[in-house]
Structure 1
Amino acid sequence: MLNRRALLTAGLAFTTAPAFVQAQTQLRGGLDGGAAAGSSQELQRLLEEASERSEVVYLPAGTYAVSNLVLPRRTRITGVPGATRLIFSGGGAMVTGEDTEHVELTGLTFDGANTPLGEASRALIDLRRPAEVAITRCVILNSAKSGLALESAAGRVEDCTITGAAEHAIYSVQARGLSIAGNTVADCGDGGILVHRWEPGEDGTIVSENRISRIGARSGGTGQVGNGINLFRAHTVTVSNNKIADCAFSAIRSNGGSNAVITGNSCLRSGETGLYAEFQFDGAVIGSNLVDGAANGISVVNFNEGGRLATVTGNIVRNLRSTGPYPSDPPGFGTGIAVEADTVVTGNVVENAPLFGIHLGWGEFMRNVVASNNVIREAGIGISVTVVEGTGSAVVTDNVISGARNGSIIGHRWTERATGDLATGEEQPFANLRVSGNQVL
């Protein structure tokens, strides 16, 4: 039988402060099935008792076998960081919770041991509709699915380490004001941090100062998985100051996410496009990011699907490749910055882009774009701009283009080269296109 006692210190002796409940060594079951079941049952009972009193359950250093643990309405569990380990012993789910009032997990290690989860479980820790969640200084390892799944959550996930998930590290859907900050994510099979919605809508999640590396695309595809940070249908999300490296597809990919703010991120060695805003988005601020090593650098595209309205300013994009993770559609890989509609591209530096330094529009899809005061070095073509009949306007002014091997500013009709070098000619052959003041070296 578990002993239960309050740790009465000077600060905790007052009746207004929550008591601590200590799980004694009897809770630490072996990893065989019978002991694991007993361990989980005892911990379940302890959590339910503590929930009634809004108490904190303290788990001392040690290894605890856990399965099918259901978090009660008010859950507060504290462990010794790096020393309190909960090992999944199989049999369906590890930790779940639904419609909770408050969930606080601190200083715990959750190890899935690569043991299969049941069909209904999305992650080692699967929380649905928590009114408030605080997961801090935890470690989540070796999940056979995702590490942490949050549905309709408000609160924060901070200073955690999530590695070795077969699917995603963190999957959030329908968030209500969530902060995901200061975490380390690595070696996940299909994705790093996902911020999704079932239908387009305001989400407001903040994803900041995380370190994300070695994200695979085990499930295949052309970018649906394999991204360090992925926004899908989620509006007003801020992605800032993250360090992201070695993702199979994109470091940051926003699909249908309007009013995204993507600033100050370091994106290294992306397999496809380093930073993506695509499909039905309306508004994106993309500034002061570093993209080094990708098939394409920054893409703000899909005007054909309604993608529009962005600023792309103050970024460094360099060392791009002409090959990617799948056979590319035209015009191919190797573009530094590509935009299509209602977008300003200014104050960027693009270096070593084998195809285009900057690509404006695609075929008939271009409207109201400006490319000014950029520096482009060592590109196949410095700036490509669509001149297909019926396109909208473009202004290309005051850029510095150095070492463009196949022309500085060239008009294209889809993939066909349709003009001479517009940077050196005096004529302006297209009424919707103004090219002036560019320095060619």
Structure 2
Amino acid sequence: MTLITTTSDLEAFCRDLAGADYITVDTEFLREKTYYPQLCLVQVAGPAGAAAIDPLAEGLDLAPLIAVLNDPSVLKVFHAARQDLEIFFHLTGRIPHPLFDTQVAAMVCGFGESVGYETLVTKLAGARIDKSSRFTDWSQRPLTDRQLQYALSDVIHLRPAYEKLRKRLARTGREHWLEEEMAVLTDPATYRVDPDTVWQRLKIRTNKPRFVAVLKEVAAWREREAQRRDLPRSRVLRDEAMLEIAAHAPAGVEDLARTRGMGRGFAEGRQGQEVLAAVQRALNQPESEWPQVEPREELPSGLAPVIELLRVLLKMKCDENHVATKLVASASDLEAIAADDAADVPALSGWRRELFGEDALALKHGSLALAVVDRRVRIVPVPKECGDAP
């Protein structure tokens, strides 16, 4: 097992990676006590071997590794890449490219939705992963041999898994199915957080403009404060307290101190004053500028059975084609298709339309039907005169 703790060793390792067709990459990190993930270990495997790189080692410069990650001639293979890519984006301002995510590829190849690494490498590489170090504290030093063995297994077994997935994709002609998903993962906008929009992630039970206006300002303050102090959002202000503040719009320290779960010390201190200022900013805006939340529209009467039929068709088509349903259409996609033939959803464009969308519209309009044949759901043609009947 190789643990790299010096820049010179990292440079030598990266020289061997420079000519590789692809490398496999994984990270170990912590973020329970911070806003930004704390990078604790980077594991990389190439054709000549694998190494764990210690970014916490004194004096270690990650520049040689970053150069390889940004080398367009070397494919970077991750499993469930989003959090790893977020780390590198915040570390360097760039996203490793080109990219291949084996979790997405596995969904395309019929391994189910969001398949885990252990499941994938067991099926494709015949490997058994020792999970005993999964919840270890990766910031503690020194790292044990067991920890390093576990960490390196995440990239060593990923190589044969990637090779087999790549062959399956080539055999089925589905390489282009990954393009949309990879485009999302390599888009910097995926990893940028706009404080002015974070309120939209919260579960709210009212669409009253005054409530939403206050919530938007307080949520934006919390996000900036969490970023500034590098703390988890909940350590700055819990969601429940923020929603209560939005509901009551406290005008002063006494009102704010009565917020459930908030101490007087917070209300009287700097943060309390800033929260009150955020509330006042919202209330000082013209009502015409308050955010508007459109109420969720009720489905038209009679659409529920249509949605259920589309759900059955989706499951059948995905089973037949060995692809995860999550990758083809979501529940909201099905609702949109049931209501509108021209719905702006991924399931009605590109390869998804070929696989599912066209048949979904045909089923909706009665030009095909579903039947149980030999205990399996099958598509059956509908005679034209029947399809045209009112």
TM-score range, shorter chain: under 0.3
- Between 1 and 2, higher relative CO (CA 8 Å, sep ≥ 6) is seen in 2
TM-score (norm 2): 0.26
Between structures 1 and 2, the one with greater helix share: 2
